[in-house]
A = this chain, B = another copy of it.
Amino acid sequence: MIPNRPRYAARLNAFKRKGDTVAEMLAAAGRVGGLSAADLNYPDHFAAHDPATLSRLLADQGLTLNGLAMRYYTEEGFKLGAFTHPDPTVRRAAIDLTKRGIDACAAMGGSQMTLWMGQDGFDYSFQADYARMWDDTISALTEVADHNPAIDIAVEYKPNEPRAHALMPDMATTLLALSEVSRPNTGVTLDFAHMLYAGEMPAKAAMLAARHSRILGLHLNDGYGKRDDGLIAGSVHPVQTIELLVALHRLGYAGIIYFDTFPDQSGLDPAEEARTNIRLTDRLLDIAALLADDAALAAAQARQDAATATTLVMAALLRA
């Protein structure tokens, strides 16, 4: 058994009802029970409260700060890119905004900034100068990593949306970029649904991440491998989820498990949905802990024996 239960967080905006303040969203997250951490988005979650107030609001709910996550909103001019925006002024604004976010993170005693570069991509062939975009991304990542070496920079890749093609669509591309950045305070955030629709086997992607960089975050959710469905963790791909959890167990990942799901889209009550995520993940973690120490399974894997491996895994899953 995994000795210490992992700490869970959930997407704060999942709790947002029309007109809600961050304080109300945090209170709703607190009422779930079982969530022990939260991420805040920068700059939007800081619009009405300063870092000190936000720290207090978190503490009031018994939540620790997992980290901040940058948002480069279309409405604020980042439609054609943040770190790769063709206008140097806008690109500079994106970098500076990120630095202010890192400062806010540090001010709250946080240790990690997650970057999802959703606007840094392209829609058409011949729309973009890929080499220039790549250079701009490397130099911007380097600059924000160097801004405060005590804050980890976690890149969260995603194949597409809002752009038709993202510059950082998958694990290996992200690792290539981070190898150029070459800063110890950089790494990746694994998002299960993003991995699925990048065509990846999540546990294999985790292996590459651990080998070439650092795993700084884990977003659990599920989907059908075509888009970012945001479903309850384990609800579609329990075996692939368990395989990922086993891999992370072996790699010693001790970070937060963050449920990056969209209950609202399926008409679900966010608190009930969060509790379902927690209950299900608790169970999947138990199974993962058993399998992580299963010598027969390791032996089957060593000889690529899928019949034995599948029998063992499904027996653990189904208690068959």
Contact = CB atoms under 8 A, between A and B. Distances in A.
A227 interface: yes
Q: How large is the interface on A (under 10, 10 to 19, 20 to 34, 35 or more residues)?
A: 35 or more
A130 to B, nearest CB: 4
Interface stretch (A26-34, A141-149, A309-317): A309-317
B125 A239 contact: yes
Contacts of A204: 130, 165, 167
A300 B9 CA distance: 26
A232 B207 CA distance: 25
Interface in A263-320: 263-269, 272-273, 276, 279-280, 283, 287, 291, 297-298, 300-307, 309-314, 317-320
Contact of A224 (B130, B164, B279): B164
Contact of A318 (B164, B173, B318): B318
Interface in A42-76: 75
A199 B199 contact: yes
A124 B267 contact: no
B203 A130 contact: yes
Interface of A: 18, 75, 79-81, 86-87, 122-132, 134, 159-165, 167, 169-173, 175-176, 179, 198-199, 201, 203-204, 207-208, 211-212, 223-227, 229, 231-232, 234-240, 242-243, 246, 263-269, 272-273, 276, 279-280, 283, 287, 291, 297-298, 300-307, 309-314, 317-320
27 contacts: A79-B264, A123-B306, A124-B231, A124-B309, A126-B301, A126-B313, A127-B266, A127-B310, A129-B301, A130-B203, A130-B204, A159-B199, A160-B226, A167-B204, A171-B172, A172-B175, A176-B179, A198-B199, A236-B240, A237-B237, A272-B307, A273-B307, A276-B311, A280-B320, A283-B318, A287-B318, A318-B319
